[in-house]
């Protein structure tokens, strides 16, 4: 008679879970289903039932931080990018609810994403809720709930999937880190200008426009600069 072999759990305790996710706050980790056991179906079910925006990472549902000012910055960027790609017929812009299965078992939702037509030859928006695409350009607007290790992990995943530029926007320091490789970046201050590089050649946006309506600076320290 065959003996059932008990499958080893992916994680033994919450400390392991949080460390794996980049030492994020435990309040962002959904416990149902148990960390390490969640699937894409669970992610979609939660989205439909509660409207909760989560990412799926190593079988764990991770809530995205919610913040009003950061959402406004992401929207400003999305509008500027949308106007540019419409003029040049380059692809699609999606916002913070644009879930993407960037590799099997990993679902991310950058705050703003540009997906080129090269990934969508038929030039029609995919009808599945979580398509298998990746951001050619990924934008992350840092919130208080993000951590340095979490953002470093995200960068690794994006570039491994095929992303060519990542913009890390930091409202706390009013700067943008422009990554062209996982650990290669240039920091732009409010006096600088964002450009699309080889991904969106010709796109330009003064950094100061992203932070024009924020209250006065209270600290020069970064909340989660991802370095």
* Alpha carbons 111 and 19: distance in angstroms, whole number: 23
User: Is the same domain home to 207 and 129?
Assistant: yes
Residues 48 and 151 in one domain: no
Reported as a single tens digit per residue, the pLDDT across 64-78 is 987 899 999 999 999
Are 37 and 90 within one domain?
Answer: no
Instruction: Verify that 198 and 86 share a domain, yes or no.
Output: yes
Q: Please tell me whether residues 58 and 72 are part of one structural domain.
A: no
Does residue 152 sit in the same domain as residue 197?
yes
* Mean of pLDDT over the chain: 91
- Assign 51 a pLDDT band (cuts: 50, 70, 90): confident
Residues 176, 204, single domain; the answer is yes
Are residues 157 and 86 both part of a single domain?
A: yes
Q: Which residue has the higher pLDDT, 157 or 4?
A: 157
Range name among 4-8, 190-194, 218-222 with the lowest pLDDT average: 218-222
State the Cα–Cα distance between residues 102 and 162, nearest whole angstrom: 9
List all residues 6 or more positions away from 83 whose beta carbon is below 8 Å from its beta carbon. Answer: none
Q: Which helix (H) or strand (E) holds 19?
A: helix 14-20
Residue 150 is assigned to a structural domain of this protein: yes
CB atoms within 10 A of CB 3: 5
pLDDT value of position 1: 53
86 shares its domain with 59: no
Q: Which of 30, 47, 63 is the last residue of a domain?
A: 63
Neighbours of 137 (CB within 10 A): 24
Domain count, the chain: 2
Task: Give 108's strand partners.
Answer: 100
Task: Locate all alpha helices (DSSP H) within 126-192, ordered by sequence.
Answer: 148-161
> How many whole angstroms separate alpha carbon 222 and alpha carbon 185?
16
Record the pTM: 0.89
Does residue 104 fall inside a structural domain?
A: yes
Domain that holds residue 40: 14-63
């Amino acid at each position: 008679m065959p003996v059932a072999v008990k499958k080893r759990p992916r994680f033994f305790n919450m400390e392991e879970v949080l460390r794996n996710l980049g030492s994020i706050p435990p309040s962002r980790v959904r416990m149902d289903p148990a960390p390490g056991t969640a699937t894409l179906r669970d992610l979609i079910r939660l989205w439909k039932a509660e409207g909760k925006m989560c990412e799926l990472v190593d079988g764990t549902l991770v809530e995205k931080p919610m913040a009003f000012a950061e959402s406004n910055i992401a929207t400003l960027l999305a509008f500027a990018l949308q106007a540019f790609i419409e003029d040049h017929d380059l692809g699609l812009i999606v916002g913070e609810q644009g879930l993407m299965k960037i590799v099997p078992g990993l679902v991310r939702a950058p705050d703003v994403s540009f997906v080129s037509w090269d990934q969508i030859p038929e030039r029609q928006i995919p009808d599945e809720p979580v398509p298998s695409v990746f951001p050619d350009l990924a934008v992350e607007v840092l919130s208080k709930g993000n951590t340095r290790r979490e953002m470093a992990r995200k960068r690794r995943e994006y570039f491994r999937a095929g992303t060519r530029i990542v913009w890390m926007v930091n409202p706390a320091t009013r700067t943008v880190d422009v990554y062209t490789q996982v650990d290669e970046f240039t920091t732009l201050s409010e006096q600088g200008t964002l450009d699309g590089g080889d991904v969106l050649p010709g796109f330009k946006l003064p950094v100061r426009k992203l932070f024009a309506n924020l209250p006065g600076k209270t600290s020069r320290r970064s909340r989660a600069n991802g370095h």
